[in-house]
């Protein structure tokens, strides 16, 4: 890391994750258990975030004990239980509450199995100096990453048409290319095939390889 990078405040990133047995209801891939695939996708996403040099703290929100156990080899994670009543925005808010507001903060969905740490670092670098930033998914309607600068109160509106709703809240689209792995979330088999072309993380890739034997 350069001296300039070392002096720049690093990010806290919150990753909300549903329990694997309740996640990815639309993701049906022949030969792969859906819950195992959902957990592998989440773990590969979390590992990529933890490996990003722009990130200081990773907060995982959810109640999947199996995921927490399997993530024990990923350094620097903090786990926070999902609040009740739940929901994606409530889960993110619970994670954000554990972070000092003087840090720049981001929420990243836990379904980016091809995510590369450098692509996340590029987006977080683009978010410097912006009160709120947003990255659209590959369909252009959802959100994969939402950011808030230090001192900016946290707000999020994840869900259907979240990209437009985040824009309406003042979030600025970050300069992220269509090819960035940050844009390729996985909800369907077609999404998984597109992520495969980009290069899946090791856990997800292992399940895909096993299904092809």
pLDDT in tens, 93-138: 999 999 999 999 999 999 999 999 999 999 999 999 999 999 999 9
Look at residue 11 and tell me if it is in a domain: yes
pLDDT of residue 4: 44
Cα(62)–Cα(83) distance, rounded to whole angstroms? 8
Tokens, residue 87: 């929901």
pLDDT of residue 31: 80
Look at residue 213 and tell me if it is in a domain: no
Most confident of 11-15, 19-23, 29-33, 80-84: 11-15
Look at residue 80 and tell me if it is in a domain: yes
Domain membership of residue 180 as a residue range: 3-208
Instruction: Tell which residue, 93, 9, 36, has the closest CA to residue 207.
Output: 36
Mean pLDDT of 159-188: 94
* 117 or 31: which leads in pLDDT: 117
Tokens, residue 110: 């836990």
- % of the chain beyond a pLDDT of 70: 94
Neighbouring residues of 19: CB distance < 8 A, sequence distance ≥ 6: 62, 63, 64, 67
- % of the chain beyond a pLDDT of 90: 74
Look at residue 13 and tell me if it is in a domain: yes
Number of domains the chain is built from? 1
Average pLDDT, the chain: 91
CATH number of the domain that residue 18 is part of: 3.90.550.10
* 107 or 3: which leads in pLDDT: 107
Cα(14)–Cα(35) distance, rounded to whole angstroms? 22
pLDDT of residue 67: 92
pTM above 0.85, yes or no: yes
pLDDT of residue 7: 57
Look at residue 166 and tell me if it is in a domain: yes
Residue 53 vs residues 118, 122, 197, 199, 201: alpha-carbon distances, Å: 8, 10, 25, 20, 18
Look at residue 178 and tell me if it is in a domain: yes
At 3, the pLDDT band (50, 70, 90 cuts) reads: very low
Lowest mean per-residue pLDDT among 5-14, 80-89, 131-140? 5-14
The neighbouring-strand residues paired with 60 are 15, 79
12 backbone dihedrals φ, ψ, rounded to 5°: -100, 130
Please check whether residue 138 is in contact with residue 46, taking contact to mean a CB–CB distance below 8 angstroms: no
pLDDT at 1 over 60: no
Instruction: Tell which residue, 72, 105, 106, 91, has the closest CA to residue 17.
Output: 91
Look at residue 27 and tell me if it is in a domain: yes
Q: Is the peptide bond before 85 cis (omega within 30 degrees of 0)?
A: yes
Please check whether residue 148 is in contact with residue 105, taking contact to mean a CB–CB distance below 8 angstroms: yes
């Amino acid at each position: 890391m350069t001296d300039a990078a070392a002096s720049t405040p690093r990010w806290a990133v919150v990753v909300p994750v549903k329990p694997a047995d309740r996640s990815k209801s639309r993701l049906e891939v022949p030969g792969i258990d859906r819950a195992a695939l959902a957990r592998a996708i989440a773990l590969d996403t979390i590992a990529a975030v933890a490996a990003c040099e722009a990130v200081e703290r990773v907060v995982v929100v959810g109640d999947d004990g199996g995921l927490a156990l399997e993530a024990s080899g990923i350094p620097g994670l903090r786990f926070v239980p999902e609040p009740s009543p739940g929901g994606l925005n409530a889960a993110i808010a619970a994670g954000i509450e554990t972070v000092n507001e003087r840090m720049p903060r981001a929420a990243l969905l836990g379904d980016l199995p091809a995510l590369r740490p450098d692509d996340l670092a590029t987006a977080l670098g683009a978010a410097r100096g912006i009160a709120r930033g947003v990255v659209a998914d590959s369909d252009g309607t959802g959100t994969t990453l939402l950011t808030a600068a230090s001192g900016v109160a946290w707000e999020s509106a994840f869900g259907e048409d979240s990209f437009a709703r985040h824009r309406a809240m003042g979030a600025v689209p970050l300069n992220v290319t269509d090819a960035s792995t940050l844009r390729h979330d996985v909800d369907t088999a077609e999404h998984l095939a597109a992520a495969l072309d980009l290069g899946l993380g090791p856990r997800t890739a292992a399940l895909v390889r096993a299904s092809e034997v």
